[in-house]
Structure 1
């Protein structure tokens, strides 16, 4: 088992941990109380991390079998992840109040952060062929 093969997963975990620490520092500095949130920040980070790991396991398997299909697999797996995230977000979207607005922004920012991390790491995988 080659460690180089699973390097994107290690990078994903490190970047997610760094994003979590920055997120917590920002919430602490701005004195934002996240206890009334429907989902805690830790739960969301764990959920996004698990979904991202699943995306990369699929990408690494596809890379072994057919490198040319990695990009399409990324698009498909990201679309499935988006559907799962919508199902998770649905209870938050149904409630409308000022406290909930911050929670919605928080959820979407975390989604965008993980999407950016996945995209950058997928680009690295695709550039390995060159």
Structure 2
């Protein structure tokens, strides 16, 4: 297994770890208790990280075979990821308690954060051709 071709995954891991640390500090400073959340923060970070890694593995495989299809593969894999995230979010959306609104906001912020990280790293992959 050639680990050099999976080197673009390293910034993803570093940024996810940094985001998790900042997230924990913000929850500590704002005294937000996440023990009542449907999904723990750790579970969500692992889930989003696993989905992002799968997206990048797909992109790296597509890059090897046909560099011109990387952008379309990114759009398709991100759309599939969005469907999976919606299915995961469904139980949280059903609850109408005020406390759960923090959990909904937390989920969407994490989704947007990982989407931004994936987009930036995909741009880096696409710029390698130039």
TM-score bucket (shorter structure) = over 0.9
Matching residue of 2:28: 28
Offset at 1:8? 1.6
Once residues 18 and 64 of structure 2 are traced to their aligned partners in structure 1, the CA distance between those partners, rounded to angstroms, is 29
Q: Please report the TM-score for the alignment, with normalisation by the length of structure 1.
A: 0.98
1:32-71 to structure 2, matched below 5 A, reads 32-71=32-71
Q: Which runs of 5+ in 1 are unaligned?
A: none
Deviation at 1:2, TM superposition (A): 4.9
Paired residues, what number? 129
Q: Matches of 2:33 and 2:58 in 1, distance apart?
A: 36
- The two structures have a TM-score, normalised by structure 2, of 0.98
Give me the whole-angstrom Cα distance separating, in 2, the residues matched to 1:25 and 1:45: 15
- Which ranges in structure 2 are unaligned for 5 or more consecutive residues? none
Tell me which residue corresponds to 1:76.
76
Flag the 1:2–1:43 CA change in 2: closer, same or farther, 3 A: closer
Q: CA RMSD in A?
A: 0.6
Deviations, residues 22-72 of structure 1 (Å, cap 9, x unaligned): 000000011110000000000000000000000000000000000000000
**Structure 1 residue matching 2:99: 3-state secondary structure:** helix
